[in-house]
Amino acid sequence: MVLSIKTAVSRNAKILALFAVVCTAIVGIVHSLTKDQIVFQQQQDLLRNLNSIIVEDSYNNIIYKDCLILPSAALGTVDSQKVYRARNNVQSIAAAITTVAPDGYNGNIELLIAINIDGSVSGVRTLKHQETPGLGDKIEVRKSDWIESFNTQRLASKNDSRWLVKKDGGMFDQFTGATITPRAVVKAVRKTVIYFNQHKDKIFESDSNCENYDSVKEAL
């Protein structure tokens, strides 16, 4: 039987549409089955990061839900950033702020910086980067303890000259063969600490708004 072109085309279109529907349905089902688990994993990951820089026993709120969106202008980043606030009942303990160091050797370095209410750094973690393996990637905590050198440091004044890498006259080590990466990280942490010191009351007083923001973002 020879099909006319018209019937052949419409038959093929129907078959293709059928496959598209079936495949989409399968992906949809898997998505709905794994959705909650994925959100859970992301929260656990965030919580692990937060607890590695803020002492877990020092606060008692659900920290990843106590979250505030910072407009991009606040830290001078391209995207808006988030602040997670640790509280013990009504007492403010510390805030963990995400930020981006735009001037890494290989593009953006995403950081999470926890600062105690007294202005001292509680801890810093690198969330994402593309620095050279073996050189710049010592900013990862599993490669080197360099990132721990921020712990307990304070910024004495806005122009505290110790907050630079040693090569620039400051107190933070650079890496052999890689100065640009630590310089970018120090700069971003310093900026964040300055912002925190100036705005800490507002940071802790504002209502949580991350959830709405996420759902708005998803709806878009």
Partner 1 sequence: MKINAEYKELAWQGLWKNNPGIVQLLGLCPLLAVTSTLTNAIGLGLATLFVLICSNATVSAIRNWVPKEIRIPIFVLIIASFVTCVQLLMNAYTFGLYQSLGIFLPLIVTNCAIIGRAEAYASKNPIKQATFDGLMMGLGFLLILMLLGAVREILGQGTLFDGANLLLGNWASILRIEVFHLDSQFLLAILPPGAFIVMGLFIALKNAIDDRVAAAKPKADNKEISRVRVNFDEK
15 vs 62 by CB, closer to partner 1: 15
Distance of closest approach, residue 139 Cβ to partner 1, in angstroms: 15
Residue 198 interacts with partner 1 (CB under 8 A): yes or no: no
How far apart are the C-alpha atoms of 201 and 95, rounded to whole Å?
11
Cβ–Cβ under 8 Å, residues 104 and 181:
yes
What is the pattern of x (binds partner 1, CB under 8 A) and - over residues 20-39? x--xx-xx--xx--x--xx-
Q: Is the dihedral of CA 73, 75, 79, 84 positive or negative?
A: negative
Closest CA to 81 of 93, 61, 96: 96
CB-nearer residue toward partner 1: 22 or 156: 22
62 touching partner 1, by CB under 8 A:
no
Closest CA relative to residue 102, chosen from 179, 187, 161:
187
Closest to partner 1 by CB, 18 or 216: 18
CA distance 67 to 45: 15
Is residue 88 close enough to count as binding partner 1 by CB under 8 A? no
Q: Which residues bind partner 1 (CB under 8 A)?
A: 8, 11-12, 15-16, 19-20, 23-24, 26-27, 30-31, 34, 37-38, 41-42, 44-45, 132-135, 176
